[in-house]
Amino acid sequence: MTRSSLVCALIASALLGCYAPVAPPAVQVAPTGAAPACGPCPAPETAAPKPQPRSGEYDALLRSAYNAYRNGDYESAMLDYERVLGRADDPHDQVRVLISLAMIRLLPSSEMRDLEAAAIVMDELDRRIARFGLQHEFFGELELLQLINARERELRALRSDNSALKKEIANRDEVIRQLRALTVGSE
């Protein structure tokens, strides 16, 4: 049996699943300047493990969270998404859930709106995205969340400034009222 027919037989038997150990042929040294006829065959690549299918309970919890979010029940959505996050094994699912939690904390219409909590969620989101190397997959969502977060912080600063101005105007109006009372009373 020639070397090439032996290699073909080994490959065919490995592909068919009926591989029987066969002693490898002796390696022949090629004459100088000539390329070897056949080198060692590379080991077959192993496929990456596929994510486990989701359980029905997990899917139901995910649907419940999404429906609550769509209906404006942000508190229920947040609680359901937190449960989903605890059960999510797939990094993509974890990132998607964290994006939803960040939105719940950032949306102006949400009664669960809290910029400090949103910052904590965003930090965790950044850590997981960096850990799993998912920047290229979720860059659009991240940019939008960062934009919303920055805008909300700007609005918060403006509201604070507005509140301080209202207090100053109220104090000024009070001083003007007292001055008028003094000037009217002195005549």
- The number of residues making up the chain comes to 187
User: 76-98 burial, b if ≥16 CB within 10 A, otherwise e?
Assistant: bbbebbebbbeebeebebbbbbb
- Please tell me the distance from the alpha carbon of residue 149 to that of residue 143, in angstroms, as a whole number: 10
Domain membership flag for residue 95: yes
The predicted structure's pLDDT at residue 73: 93
Domain membership flag for residue 130: yes
CATH number at residue 134: 1.25.40
The predicted structure's pLDDT at residue 138: 87
Query: Which residue from 24, 23, 20, 1 is spatially nearest to 12, judged by alpha carbons?
Result: 20
If the chain, 187 residues long, is cut into consecutive pieces of 10 residues, what is the mean pLDDT of each piece?
48 42 48 51 43 71 91 92 90 92 88 89 92 88 85 86 89 88 72
Domain membership flag for residue 86: yes
Domain membership flag for residue 85: yes
The predicted structure's pLDDT at residue 185: 63
Residue 131's domain spans which residues? Answer: 56-152
Domain membership flag for residue 77: yes
Q: Quick one: 170 exposed, middle or buried, by C-beta within 10 A (0-12, 13-18, 19+)?
A: exposed
Helix (H) or strand (E) holding 63: helix 56-70
Please state whether 19 falls in left (phi above 0), alpha (psi between -120 and 50) or beta: beta
**118 close to 156: Cβ distance less than 8 angstroms:** no
The predicted structure's pLDDT at residue 31: 52
Tell me the two tokens of residue 52.
């486990």
Backbone angles phi, psi at 49, to 5 degrees: -65, 135
Domain membership flag for residue 49: no
Packing angle of the helix pair 91-106, 115-132 (nearest 10 deg)? 160
Domains of the chain: total? 1
Domain membership flag for residue 17: no
Domain membership flag for residue 33: no
